Homo-oligomer: A and B are copies of this chain.
Amino acid sequence: MTKDVVVEHGESSKAPLVAPVASGVGRAASVADVFLRFLAIVGTIASAIAMGTTNETLPFFTQFIQFEAKYSDLPSFTFFVAANAVVCTYLVLSIPLSIVHIVRPRARYSRLVLVFFDAAMLTLLTAGASAAAAIVYLAHKGNVRANWFAICQQFDSFCERISGSLIGSFAAMVLLIMLIFLSAFALARRH
């Protein structure tokens, strides 16, 4: 703790007019940042695992219905698992930088880097979750005009699982928006 205070004084000698209270708010924002990242990691891991282990084998066989439904039968679901895995890996890698911000709440360029990559990862995660959601909707409802039939009458446990696996991703999307705002807020506090 003493070391932190020394660092703080060392920095504030460059900007003597900065109020001490600003550093406390910046530190609180940094702690919230680490916490939200952990929540988002849990959400993306849960989504990736729930979708990646989905597999249903039917006990009967007709001319049109397949024996087995797997997530990898549909490219959108493979993309969904990949996007969640990539975002989860990025979030794990960003935790150390986020912890550095607790010790040094005035850090600027490292926060800028986080804002950029958070926005890119938000886009990737949204793309994966939304593409999967479009296919899940089609699996439930089908489409009469395009002659695409709903497959959820046959594969009901498969459909429940893939629908549920979207929740973690959508929660992580909200968390990433909050993380971007929090970083911008921490940058705005510095004056």
Residues of A bordering B, CB below 8 Å: 15-17, 64, 66, 69, 73-76, 108-109, 111-112, 115-116, 119-120, 122-123, 126-135, 137-139, 143, 145-149, 151, 173, 177, 180-181, 183-185, 187-188, 190-191
B108 touches A74 (CB 8 A): no
Known: A64-B147, A76-B134, A187-B187. 12 other contacts (CB 8 A): A15-B17, A16-B17, A66-B145, A69-B145, A73-B143, A111-B184, A111-B188, A123-B177, A127-B130, A130-B134, A139-B146, A184-B184
A114 to B76, CA, bound (A): 32
Who on chain B is nearest to A64 by CB?
B147
Counted per complex, copies of this chain come to 2
Main secondary structure of the interface of A (DSSP, over half): helix
Shortest CB–CB separation between residue A12 and chain B, in angstroms?
Answer: 12
Residues in chain B near residue A191, CB distance under 8 A: 15, 108, 190-191
A73 touches B146 (CB 8 A): yes
B74 touches A181 (CB 8 A): no
Return 13 A-B CB contacts under 8 Å, by A number.
A15-B17, A76-B134, A111-B188, A112-B188, A116-B180, A119-B119, A119-B122, A119-B177, A120-B177, A122-B123, A127-B133, A130-B131, A188-B190
Residues in chain B near residue A188, CB distance under 8 A: 108-109, 111-112, 187, 190
A130 to B15, CA, bound (A): 45
B173 touches A123 (CB 8 A): yes
- Counting chain B CB atoms within 10 Å of each CB, which of A145, A180, A185, A187 scores highest? A187
Residues in chain B near residue A190, CB distance under 8 A: 188, 190-191
Give the residue of B76, B147, B148, B187 whose beta carbon is less than 8 angstroms from that of A184. B187
